[in-house]
Structure 1
Amino acid sequence: MEIQSINYNSHTVRYFRFGNPDGQPFVIIAGVAVRSVMESAEFIRQQYISFEKDYNVYVIDRRTDVYDGYDINDMADDIIHVLDSLSVRNADIYGVSQGGMIAQSIAVNRPDIVRRLVLCSTGSYVNDSALEVMNKWRKFAENHDAEKLMLSFAENVYTPAYCEKYYNAFLKLGELLTEKELDRFSIIVKCTDKFDIRSKLNCIQCPILVIGAENDRIFGTEPSENIAGLTGGELYIYKNEAHGVYDENADVLVKIKNFLDKN
Structure 2
Amino acid sequence: MRTVLFSTVAATLLVTAPAAAQVQPQYSAAQPQPAATQASVINLDNRIVALERQIADLLRAEEENGRRISQLESTLQQEREASAQRISTLESRLAAGTPAPTVTASEPASEKPKPAVAGKSSTPKPVAAVASTDTDPAEEAYDAGYQLWKAGKYDEAIGALRAFSSAYPNHRRTSWANNLAGRAMLDKGEARAAAEVLLANYRGNPKGERAADSLFYLGQSLMKLDQPSQACKAYGELEAVYGSNMRADLQKMLPTAKTQAKCKS
Q: Same fold (TM over 0.5)?
A: no
TM-score (norm 1): 0.25
Q: Give the TM-score taking structure 2 as reference length.
A: 0.25
Higher RCO, 1 vs 2 (CA within 8 Å, ≥6 residues apart): 1
Q: Which has more strand, going by share of residues? A: 1
